[in-house]
Amino acid sequence: MVMKHRTTRGVLLYQGPDGQERGREVFAVTVHGDGRRILRAQSEIDEGEILRDVVYTVSADWRPIEAFVRLTVLDRFQGSGWLLFDEGGASCEALTREDGRVSQRLDTATPPLCFGSHPISGDAWMLTPFDMSRRSESQRIEPALMSSLAFNGATGPRLHQLGYGLAFRGEETLDVPAGRIDTWKFEFLLAGSEVDGHPPYHVWVSADGDYIIVKAEVGTTRHYT
């Protein structure tokens, strides 16, 4: 019997401004026959010894369904949480080092468009609400939800609401270790958002509608790629 799903796997290298390795990420994206997609990602950031495990599911139209996030910081348990999304917002059941047992409900005026769980491969899915038929325009994306508002995502996990802008910055063909890939380039517009002051952030994803992460760059003050 041939199973109906397909899976794409990838590895990302995190590099500092001088090219030194500062972390890594392994991910897999599974697309099921009904269009549901599941991201499984493990990311490691050497600074702070941050280890993150994420399983995140979206519907055929890219709307969040459920997610699991587990964090270890400095080789100590930080927190783990299960998040369930619906038309009116999301619920979170978590256990964290700071807050202990957490049961949280966050209501939104309209259905959540996306969820940021902090692996770079997950950031690519935060581009999916962008309307490509209006690609010449900057677009506002809200409501979005996040597991942490920290730059490195090393808090919680719990629910936070976020609104942000996106701009399409063109099509590029990139040569990466995985080969030559046609990409769409986007810029996150975060000024005035809940993470105001975040360094410039550009993301390149596969130009095939699967939004597979190919490259990301964070500018000053962090200047990480």
Q: Which residues pair with 56 in a beta bridge?
A: 39, 67
What's the pLDDT score for residue 197? 75
Residue 191 located in a structural domain? yes
In the block, tokens 């808090």 appear at 155
17-22 contacts, C-beta under 8 A, 24 or more apart = 17/223, 17/224, 21/46, 22/46, 22/47, 22/224
Q: For residue 151, give the 3-state DSSP assignment.
A: coil
Residue 79 located in a structural domain? yes
148-154 contacts, C-beta under 8 A, 24 or more apart = 148/118, 149/194, 149/195, 151/195, 151/198, 151/222, 152/45, 152/47, 152/48, 152/50, 152/118, 153/50, 153/52, 153/71, 153/117, 153/118, 154/45, 154/48, 154/50, 154/71, 154/73, 154/78
pLDDT band at 225 (very low <50, low <70, confident <90, very high): very low
Residue 69 located in a structural domain? yes
pLDDT band at 205 (very low <50, low <70, confident <90, very high): very high
Mean pLDDT of the chain: 93
Sheet holding 21-31, edge to edge: 6-15, 21-31, 37-45, 50-58, 64-73, 76-86, 89-96, 100-107
pLDDT surpassing 90 at residue 222: no
Residue 224 located in a structural domain? no
Mean pLDDT of the region 57-62: 98
Least confident of 11-20, 92-101, 116-125, 200-209: 11-20
Residue 97 located in a structural domain? yes
pLDDT band at 185 (very low <50, low <70, confident <90, very high): very high
pLDDT band at 1 (very low <50, low <70, confident <90, very high): confident
pLDDT surpassing 60 at residue 210: yes
Residue 162 located in a structural domain? yes
Residue 225 located in a structural domain? no
Contact 44, 25 (CB under 8 A): yes
pLDDT band at 220 (very low <50, low <70, confident <90, very high): low
Q: What is the number of structural domains in the chain?
A: 1
Mean pLDDT of the region 51-75: 97
Residue 1 located in a structural domain? no
Mean pLDDT of the region 183-209: 89
The answer to whether the pTM exceeds 0.95 is no
What's the pLDDT score for residue 223? 43
Distance, in Å, from the CA atom of 194 to the CA atom of 191, rounded to the nearest integer, reads 9
Q: Which domain holds residue 49?
A: 6-218
Chain center to CA of 129: 13
Least confident of 93-102, 197-206, 209-218: 197-206
The CA dihedral of 101, 107, 110, 113, to the nearest 10 degrees, is -20
What's the pLDDT score for residue 224? 43
Mean pLDDT of the region 198-214: 93
Distance, in Å, from the CA atom of 123 to the CA atom of 112, rounded to the nearest integer, reads 15
